[in-house]
Structure 1
Amino acid sequence: MDFKQISQQILKDANTELSQEFDRNFERKAFFDEAWKSDKYPNSKGSTLVRSGKGRRSIQNPTTTDTDITWSSNLPYMKIQNEGGEIEVTKKMKSFFWAMYYKVYGGIQFNVRKKAMANTQRNKRLSAEAQKWKAMAMQPVGTKMKIEQRQFIGEHPEVHRILKQVVDVNMKEVEQNLKNSLKR
């Protein structure tokens, strides 16, 4: 086994191990041990990155070169979710926010006799969510919206531990192969 084969095996094993761990970050709702910031709106439906599962499924099989492993997503918003940052509100975004507001607000049940919203937990949750969408829709075009970092792929001490473990296992295998070939 030559050096190139050893390094390719290490990259293949690292690819497998890290892909599994990065996928588990969605189950943990954290970047290893660093929990994702929760939605700042009350009564929202779960973590932003796991509601539909689209983001998790968008992580494509990593590409491997002689020295690197690169993960990517086919969804443009996953990069800003992973890194955090600011985005500019567009007219199209405002239309989406209004559509979501009307969709959520339409689900609120009203008491016809009292001409008021029925006092239920579901209505309270929907009302809070409707207010979130309305607040976002009311922002002028060009306003900067801060997107909190919810990292799921990247540098972390756990990544280094996994890489060290993969290298150690492969080097022990190389050592064993050398011992066996020297015995012959």
Structure 2
Amino acid sequence: MLDSNKLKADILSDMRVELSDEFDRNFERKAFFSDKWKPRAHDYPRGSLLIVTGAMRRSTQGEVSGDGVRFTSSEPYTTLHNEGGTGYKPVKAHTRRSQKGKVYTVRAHKRKFNMPQRQFIGDGPETQRIIRGVIDDNLKHFNLSLTDFIRQ
């Protein structure tokens, strides 16, 4: 007898694993599957694009939540990188020397910047293909087609 709750749990667990692996590979691809990321404005030799320390990549976790899989990160800047947008970088107070040699103090402030989208997690054609593959594999394990499963 088919236990639909076990099948659902297996599908969601497998989706979490497969999507986690593929989203992690996006850092190696420097792309969201085949959509390449925009290159850096300045090519400083501080590591690969989006992988200076690896903290964001390591912090991204998938979890089964209700009827789906949810991906989160403990790093506050993950959403800005994944979705793009405007941010503000704090600038500490410091001193500067003018060209004429005069020393003056720059007050602490925030500098606005625009971050291009460099998506590595999300929905899209490749994500849907992976989800369909996981569902098909789990149904084959029970010798069912999708229409047979829906009828039950």
- Cα distance, 1:142 vs structure 2: 4.9
Aligned twin of 1:31: 32
- Whether contact under 8 Å (1:8, 1:66) holds in the other structure is no
What is the deviation of 1:174? Answer: 1.4
Larger fraction in strand: 2
Supply the RMSD in Å over aligned alpha carbons: 2.2
Partner Cα distance (2:66, 2:73) in 1:
21
Q: Which of 128, 131, 134 pairs up with 1:160?
A: 128
Q: How many residue pairs end up in the alignment?
A: 130
> In 1, distance between residues paired with 2:28 and 2:60?
14
Shift of 1:51: 2.0
Which residue of structure 1 aligns with residue 77 of structure 2?
77
One-letter code of the match for 1:156?
G
Residue of structure 1 equivalent to 2:139: 171
Q: 1:40: which partner in 2?
A: 41
Structure 2 residue runs without a partner (length 5+)? 95-105, 145-152
Q: Distance in 1 between matches of 2:91 and 2:111?
A: 11
Kept after mapping to 1: 8 A contact 2:27/2:51: yes
Match of 1:102 in 2: none
CA distance in 1, matches of 2:88, 2:142: 53
CA distance in 2, matches of 1:58, 1:66: 22
Residue by residue over 1:117-151, the C-alpha shift from the partner in whole angstroms, topping out at 9 and shown as x without a partner, is: xxxxxxxxxxxxxxxxxxxxx9x935531111111
Q: 1:66 to 1:2 in 2, by over 3 A?
A: farther
Give 3-state SS (helix, strand or coil) of 2:128's partner: helix
Q: Do the aligned residues in 2 keep the contact of 1:32 with 1:158 (CA within 8 Å)? A: yes
TM-score (norm 2): 0.77
Q: Please list every run of 5 or more consecutive structure 1 residues that lacks an aligned counterpart in the other structure.
A: 99-137, 177-184
- Cα displacement (A) at 1:167: 0.6
> Which residue in the other structure is 1:19 paired with?
20
Structure having the higher helix fraction is: 1
Taking every aligned residue pair, what percent have the same amino acid on both sides?
Answer: 39
* 1:107-122 pair list within 5 angstroms: none
Q: Where does residue 64 of structure 1 map in the other structure?
A: 64
Question: Greater CA radius of gyration, 1 or 2?
Answer: 1
Higher relative contact order (CA 8 A, sep 6+): 1
Q: Is this contact kept in 2: 1:38–1:47, CA < 8 A?
A: no
